[in-house]
Structure 1
Amino acid sequence: MSNVKNKKMINQIALKSLKARKKRNLIAILAIVLTSVLFTALFTIGGSLIEKNQESTMRQVGGSAHAGYKYLTKSEYEKVAKDKGLKSVSYRIALADAENKPLIKVRTEMAYYEELEAKWSFCYPEEGHMPKKENECVASDLTLKALGVPCKIGEKFSVDFSVRGKKYSKEFILCGWYKGDRVSMSQVMCVSKKLVNQLAPTAESYQYGGDIAGSYMVDFNFKTSFNLKKQLEELNKRIGFEEKSTGVNWAYLGVKADAETVVLIVVMLGIILVSGYLIIYNIFYINVFGDIRFYGLLKTIGTTKKQLGKIVRKQANLLSLAGIPIGLILGAVVGAGLLPIICANLSMGDTEGTNVVLHPWIFIGSAVFSFLTVQISCIKPCRIVAKISPIEAVKLTESSVNAKVKGKKRRTHKLTMHAFGLANIKRNRKKAVLVVFSLSLSLILLNTVCTLLKGFDMDKYVSNRSVSDYMVTDATTDNPALSERTEDGVTSDFLTELREQDGIKESGNVYYSEWEQKLSDWEKERLEERIWKDWKKNFAYMIQSIGEEDMKQEIDADKERGSITAKMYGLDQLVFEKLKCEQGELDWEKFKSGNYIVVNQFESDDGEKPIYDVGDKITLTGENGFTKEYEVMALVSMPYPAEFQMYFSLEINYILPSSEFLNYFEGRQPMKTLFNVSKKDEKQIESWLENYCTNINDDLTYTSKSTMEAEFATLQNMIVIVGGFLSFVLALIGILNFVNTILTGILSRKQEFAMLESVGMTRKQLREMLMWEGGYYALFTSIVAVLAGSILSMTLIKSYTSGFFFFTWKFTVLPILICIPFLLLIVLFVPYLACEKMCRISVVERIRSGE
């Protein structure tokens, strides 16, 4: 056979040998199916989350293009459009912001959009067409709703706006509308190019921070999204735009890789690969030894090493062909089921659904990884088959694999069944190690999941997310697009009704406004020394988002005008007492006197850096003319729930008592109202709040400790379901591995067992020996699982969870100890059943079948 082309014959031998051992093949197919299920579920969930997160980020950014230039002239745009290194280029021309009072809560930008740019910017009309006539426009359903205009083509409405200092009020006809995103920084109103050219003809040049009406915002796609920052730098050099304001779309993974996410994906792939390898390798390893005489006979008639390896691989390929498609389908179903549970705990944006994203690459990738696992698992069995000689193959028994005694004296032992069981395991240590490791893997993972669940501290979670029993705020307050929209706040009507409710123990307000702080000479020197001098390091995170040039222009603009944009807060006692003091001392009685101020430290990428020191004197001057000097009492950090959820490049908070705040902003309503209630009145207050925020004033929203607890429970459920599913599948793989090992071990040794029975061993003793063998597997598995689980918990898990604010690490191996009795039941029951089935065949028949 060695010099004959016999591919067809090899295929027939592989196929017929598979048909001869159908039961063992079922276990192999099931193992491949489970491995494929894990890979497909991982790729399905991971791919869907990546795509949804990417799309959500794109919608926040406002576009899907790779990168773009801001504030260009028409001639500069044409220069970009001619560059041959770009795949596609489009633009919009800025006009103004809509100023209608109803749009205070829904910021809306007006601009002319090319059709391609509108599609990239998610504002292409779902119904209707792009503006053609001067008075036509396209708007989002959110903008139209705020204006009280139905989403109906042909509707007329008026829009107020200002262009280059001149105010306009123009009537538009709705020619198209699209579904807006609350997650977006602003809504878009597309107007005609004719209108923009008429009101804001393009200027000769534009500067950052100046009037941008008529400027071209140019977006473009490169031929690949890999390393966008470098590609943009090369484009700048090609067209000479190194000083222009640029932006890279950080939604693309190539901009900034999340190291923890990459590590997590690699670890998950590794676990699945190892677990799949363990069982598939063990199955083929055992099958090879079970059929070793068959392969030896093939070798005696001239089959080469390469041809024997091909037979084994052909069998593996046929089994893969049967198992992988089933695993891909089941994995997609499992992924689709788990995705909504995972998405419920992640911020994917209001517009993002939880429908699974099934791209062809998911199935291709899963199939490739599954097939690769099978191929890797076949390497050693193929080598075993190739190296064995015909004579050794006929004589080989499992005990001969490790029967190497080098100069050691053989010692006699008392013949007991547990000694027999231990000796059987020692006969093939490699197989035993694989089985123990496979069984241990699921126990280790289960212990890890339970360690995570045990460490979740609900009190920490709730206290970080809520500083009081209840918090009421304007529904749009925490929208990052609405930095100037918090004046409405919590209405006086609500505050009046709140005071009338029974069970209110204490309450407090948080006032907020954007603040322009005119810098004194010493403040300029302090900022220069501590922040601006090393601005690239201090603003590294912001530079990744808005670009180095924009960041530099923003700092230069602050220096030039001699002021900074900061946040002004006014606090009542309830919230003041929740401040975290970093330096100095907090004293409410002194603070409410109105002579003191507390400020935060600037959190740079290089650590916390105080701009002010305790004892400094800060002078504040409001637009109403009120001026006062305050002494810095302490450096603090605001509790996250009480903050305004938008952050400036230079994050500075000036915090005053509410009475002092209102001297600067008379008549301002609270941004947030926080209050605590007595335990017995919680249900009544919750019911009243829900009714008020739903039926009376739906512009208000509330959070409570009960909603925080529900969020926490949802997070725990996700860990339980996802971790439980993975543990279950790995446990099933481990059990299958054990069952296959025991069954094939009994089949390959049935002649040996028949000989033992022929010389006096009873069936009871045989059963006992095999059950001891299973018991030792359970013992070794328990030892490995406890040791490995403990080490993993005290090192990797403890280190990884140290960054979770709601986690308190607690050591435990209780889940493993609870599972040990169930494991013992399985490892005793399987050998018992296998022995009973084998013993139904007479001793003589078993001896003859082995000859």
Structure 2
Amino acid sequence: MLKVNNKQAIMNLAQSGIKTNPKKYLVLVFAVVLTTVLFSSLFTIGSSLLNEIQKATMRQVGGSAHAGLKYLSESEYDLVKDDKKVKDISYRILVGTCEGEVFNKTYTEVNWAEPLNAKYGFCYPEVGSYPQKENEIVVSDIILNRLSEKLGGEELTVGSHIEISIRIGEDLVTKDFVVSGFYRGDSISIAQMALVSKAFQEKYAPVKTVKYTESEQNNYVGWIMADVNYKNAFNIRGKTKALIQRSGLREDLDYGINWAYLGTQMDPMMAALCLILIATFIFAGYLIIYNIFDLNILSDIQEYGLLKTIGTTGRQLRKIIMLRASMICAAGIPLGLLLGIGVGGLLLPVISNQLETVTVDKGKVHINLLAILAAILFSYLTVVISALKPCRKMSKVSPVETVKYTMPLDKKSKPKKKMLTVVMSLSLSLIVLNSVITIVKGFNMDGFIEDMVISDYSVQEAQLDQPGSSYKDTQGVSQDFLAALANQEGVEETGNIYFGNPNHTFSEDDWKKIKENFLCREEVKQKIIKYNSYGNKGFDIDEYLKYLDQEKTLDGNTYGLGKFACEKLKVIQTLDGSSQIDWNQFNSGDYVLASQFEDEGGVLINIVEPGEKVQVEGKEYTVLAIVEMPYAMRLQAYSQIQCDFMLPENEFLSLYQNWNPMRTLIDVQNEKEETFENWLSSYTKQIESSLSYKSKDDIKDEYKSFGDMIGIVGTVVAVILALIGIMNFSNTIVTSIITRSREFAMLEAVGMTGKQQKRRVMKEGLEYFLWTLAASLVFASLLSCTVVRLLINELAMFNWNFSLMPVLYCLPFICLLVLVIPVIVYNRISRKSVVERLRCE
């Protein structure tokens, strides 16, 4: 069989069709532009945010390495340092922590580190040099500024002398250091880092030579912390486990995974949201491009019929159409990319400002080649998918049918099967807009803040809630502060929270109930096993339960609560079945409140029941209620069972005597808040710098425009989708009216007035509107009650409320468009005389 090279001929035919009627294809180019804008803006914002979040999270975590191996001895590091599957590895040695007034609110870890490891940890000196001599040190600019404030504003820089006390195990070493360099610190980091010289480390914290599990005194000093980078960030956890096994390291070795890297863990809700967005954009692009392609192919079908009569095959015709689709993509996708990146650049700062990220390029567009390629690919695939069905339809029509073909119309003289496409396209924007505004309107700032800060102000010792601090002063609120607080104007309510000694001992009868109702449960045993498994490979749960049975003791804390603090508790179950705690009854001194146990699945289980007897510091009390203490009130640390008891303030103090509060909760009159905060800020800086405070306004400042961000982004998406819908409607109406121009001319020739014909086309537009109205209300309701409700219920700062008002507000505008556009199109074609229109075939 003779094979003819007809590629150039097919290319010429594809180009000639576009050149013959460029205006018709401009509409399709614009549709591709809009579709590409959707994808490119989505991927631009997405990739930029991922880059920003990843960098910020790395700085928050304190490192950029993929994983870290913790508490290694020198010999253990030697086992792993030359592994061939590791891209690079470096280490630091723990020396101690800084102590003193300056470091109360800024937990600072002291290490010696290899230069590469310092770069991993963002603490390599940006100004100055690496420490070489025993008295040289590198610190962050944050530490320098704090030290400068303490010295009355004296400027500290490279070469300055600073006195720092370092806690090294049981010893406190105070030394006059010379600043050899400093780096830009991050206020959101878990800890600031200070680097000392190798000479200092070897003198005060020599590297460990025995395994962590064999060491008699694990005070964290002298252990090697190795940071590892692999060739890629895929399956970091699996690679780290394999590295430990391959190197012959102990199975219970502690290691950490850098959760800054995408792929170490993926939020299912976020992944689902991204998939929904991509699917929505593909569907929106498909609706318009398919519709326009279908109409264009049908309007050109006589051209294709003539080509068929001279021997062009269906396969060759499909190639011509797909080449035209590719040419349209070549014209529309680059422009759409530029516009999409621009839209992304405008929206990115709005979104970025809502994220608690600290990066150099915060809010700036990060041009990612993969993101651009993804936008091009999805846009092109949308066009290809949209062109396939019209392509197949055209190739099946015989040459005779194509020559006689005009346009398939239904009984109402409208293009067949276009009603559904147009209605879906118009409805989609309304449905998306309704969903977005439902989410925005559900933003509940007060409800969200209550989960994080339970009063206007919470005062506590500065390091109490520092994640990296091993020292927790649970009596940090002094009597001097409470006395000063009592003299402040505008204070409405105050409530102290006290923290007592842990562990509770039970009587024989009470312990029997705990064994039968609590300790025998499998989920309790599983959590105890998991809690004790690290560093204790041979842990035996049965032996441990026997030990507990002998001691009749459970770990847990004792809290003392003032009335204001007691009102903040979440009541689970009470002795009398009520939903509130009777303060007078509780304050009588005969009762105690108890917490619940939380298993690995988050299920809460009662340890004791209301009405049962328990002992606190040797005194017997009756359990009045089972409660949940908000995270912001309690000591932010956990044990395996965590059996907490709560006493009224006076009863607590009668047991513990001369005890200071762990926290003090404060509510202030609105009009006095500014004055009070100025006093509180000054007091915690100048009088008792060991104290810090959290305020409700701090949270408001961080989240006040979060809802606005969702609204802006969602509205932009809805507007683009609305443009697609209007284009779809306009193109369908234009095609319908142009196709029927001869019919309109004939009707005008026999006496139908232009006014009557306009009324007729307006009636058609109204029919589209009514179907759009029905579809929008039905599907917006379904989406709101399912997907939107599910999403909102996952977010603490939102409340779901059903509403269709956004759809109802937009419908008059849609109605106006669907009535006006047909009239405009009719006026355009009616400029020609009746005779000219009657001559058209």
TM range (shorter): 0.7 to 0.9
Alignment match of 1:674 (pick from 666, 676, 693): 666
Aligned-partner SS, 2:625: strand
2:229 corresponds in structure 1 to: 221
Distance 2:393 2:308 in 1: 13
User: Residues 72 and 458 from structure 1, CA distance in 2 versus in 1: closer, same or farther, beyond 3 angstroms?
Assistant: closer
Distance 1:287 1:658 in 2: 80
Shift of 1:539: 8.2
User: Residues 90 and 363 from structure 1, CA distance in 2 versus in 1: closer, same or farther, beyond 3 angstroms?
Assistant: same
Distance 2:720 2:639 in 1: 47
1:423 matched to 2:417? The reply is no
Amino acid in structure 1 at the alignment position of 2:190 = M
Distance 1:462 1:189 in 2: 34
1:154-173 correspondence to structure 2 within 5 Å = 154-173=159-178
1:577 corresponds in structure 2 to: 567
Distance 2:240 2:832 in 1: 77
Contact map agreement 1:183 1:350 (CA 8 A) in 2: no
Greater Cα shift, 724-733 or 102-111: 102-111
Shift of 1:719: 2.8
Aligned-partner SS, 1:424: coil
1:290-369 correspondence to structure 2 within 5 Å = 290-348=299-357, 353-369=362-378
Shift of 1:691: 2.7
Distance 1:39 1:569 in 2: 54
Amino acid in structure 2 at the alignment position of 1:668 = N
2:246 corresponds in structure 1 to: 238
Distance 1:799 1:304 in 2: 52
Aligned-partner SS, 1:388: coil
User: Residues 617 and 722 from structure 1, CA distance in 2 versus in 1: closer, same or farther, beyond 3 angstroms?
Assistant: same
User: Residues 358 and 596 from structure 1, CA distance in 2 versus in 1: closer, same or farther, beyond 3 angstroms?
Assistant: farther
Describe the superposition over 1:88-114 as per-residue Cα deviations: whole angstroms up to 9, x where unpaired.
Answer: 111111111222343122221111111
Amino acid in structure 1 at the alignment position of 2:772 = T
Shift of 1:582: 1.5
Structure 2, unaligned runs of 5 or more = 576-580
Contact map agreement 1:106 1:146 (CA 8 A) in 2: no
Aligned-partner SS, 2:471: coil
Shift of 1:283: 1.2
Amino acid in structure 1 at the alignment position of 2:371 = I
Shift of 1:713: 5.1
1:195-206 correspondence to structure 2 within 5 Å = 195-206=200-211
TM-score, scaled to structure 2: 0.87
Aligned-partner SS, 2:187: coil
Amino acid in structure 2 at the alignment position of 1:715 = F
Contact map agreement 2:461 2:662 (CA 8 A) in 1: no
User: Residues 343 and 382 from structure 1, CA distance in 2 versus in 1: closer, same or farther, beyond 3 angstroms?
Assistant: same
Shift of 1:731: 0.8
User: Residues 325 and 761 from structure 1, CA distance in 2 versus in 1: closer, same or farther, beyond 3 angstroms?
Assistant: same
Amino acid in structure 1 at the alignment position of 2:246 = R
Greater Cα shift, 830-839 or 755-764: 755-764
Contact map agreement 1:10 1:307 (CA 8 A) in 2: yes
Distance 2:694 2:104 in 1: 23
Amino acid in structure 1 at the alignment position of 2:777 = V
1:110-189 correspondence to structure 2 within 5 Å = 110-148=110-148, 150-189=155-194
User: Residues 47 and 653 from structure 1, CA distance in 2 versus in 1: closer, same or farther, beyond 3 angstroms?
Assistant: farther
Aligned-partner SS, 2:262: coil
Greater Cα shift, 777-786 or 765-774: 765-774
Amino acid in structure 1 at the alignment position of 2:357 = M
Distance 1:292 1:776 in 2: 28
Amino acid in structure 1 at the alignment position of 2:122 = F
Aligned-partner SS, 1:220: strand
1:832 corresponds in structure 2 to: 823
Greater Cα shift, 333-342 or 216-225: 333-342
Amino acid in structure 2 at the alignment position of 1:691 = N
1:411 corresponds in structure 2 to: none
Distance 1:565 1:280 in 2: 66
Contact map agreement 1:510 1:672 (CA 8 A) in 2: yes
1:727 matched to 2:743? The reply is no
User: Residues 9 and 779 from structure 1, CA distance in 2 versus in 1: closer, same or farther, beyond 3 angstroms?
Assistant: same
Shift of 1:378: 1.4
1:809-824 correspondence to structure 2 within 5 Å = 809-824=800-815
Greater Cα shift, 360-369 or 772-781: 360-369
Distance 1:365 1:521 in 2: 67
2:578 corresponds in structure 1 to: none
1:96 corresponds in structure 2 to: 96
Amino acid in structure 2 at the alignment position of 1:220 = V
Distance 2:160 2:565 in 1: 47
Structure 1, unaligned runs of 5 or more = 403-421, 622-626
Contact map agreement 1:37 1:330 (CA 8 A) in 2: yes
1:517 matched to 2:522? The reply is no
Describe the superposition over 1:128-184 as per-residue Cα deviations: whole angstroms up to 9, x where unpaired.
Answer: 222222222211223333333755111222222343534322222211211222322
Distance 1:162 1:470 in 2: 32
1:443 matched to 2:427? The reply is no
Contact map agreement 1:181 1:351 (CA 8 A) in 2: no
User: Residues 718 and 531 from structure 1, CA distance in 2 versus in 1: closer, same or farther, beyond 3 angstroms?
Assistant: farther
Amino acid in structure 1 at the alignment position of 2:263 = G
1:405 corresponds in structure 2 to: none
TM-score, scaled to structure 1: 0.86
Amino acid in structure 1 at the alignment position of 2:494 = S
Distance 2:714 2:311 in 1: 51
Describe the superposition over 1:392-434 as per-residue Cα deviations: whole angstroms up to 9, x where unpaired.
Answer: 112112226x7xxxxxxxxxxxxxxxxxxx7134x502x2211
Describe the superposition over 1:778-804 as per-residue Cα deviations: whole angstroms up to 9, x where unpaired.
Answer: 111111111111222223333333344
User: Residues 57 and 595 from structure 1, CA distance in 2 versus in 1: closer, same or farther, beyond 3 angstroms?
Assistant: farther
Shift of 1:574: 0.9
Alignment match of 1:687 (pick from 666, 671, 674): 674
Amino acid in structure 1 at the alignment position of 2:172 = K
Distance 1:527 1:201 in 2: 47
Amino acid in structure 2 at the alignment position of 1:15 = Q
Alignment match of 1:589 (pick from 584, 588, 605): 584
1:211 matched to 2:219? The reply is yes
Distance 2:515 2:240 in 1: 31
Contact map agreement 1:107 1:186 (CA 8 A) in 2: yes
Shift of 1:335: 2.1
Describe the superposition over 1:597-635 as per-residue Cα deviations: whole angstroms up to 9, x where unpaired.
Answer: 4332132332113344445665566xxxxx766554332
Describe the superposition over 1:715-742 as per-residue Cα deviations: whole angstroms up to 9, x where unpaired.
Answer: 3322321221111111111001111111
Distance 2:358 2:555 in 1: 28
Distance 1:87 1:126 in 2: 25
User: Residues 782 and 229 from structure 1, CA distance in 2 versus in 1: closer, same or farther, beyond 3 angstroms?
Assistant: same
Distance 1:477 1:531 in 2: 35
Distance 1:583 1:571 in 2: 18
Describe the superposition over 1:731-780 as per-residue Cα deviations: whole angstroms up to 9, x where unpaired.
Answer: 11100111111112222332343344445443333222221111111111
Aligned-partner SS, 1:353: coil
Amino acid in structure 1 at the alignment position of 2:416 = N
Distance 1:659 1:780 in 2: 69
Distance 1:595 1:16 in 2: 95
Greater Cα shift, 85-94 or 377-386: 377-386
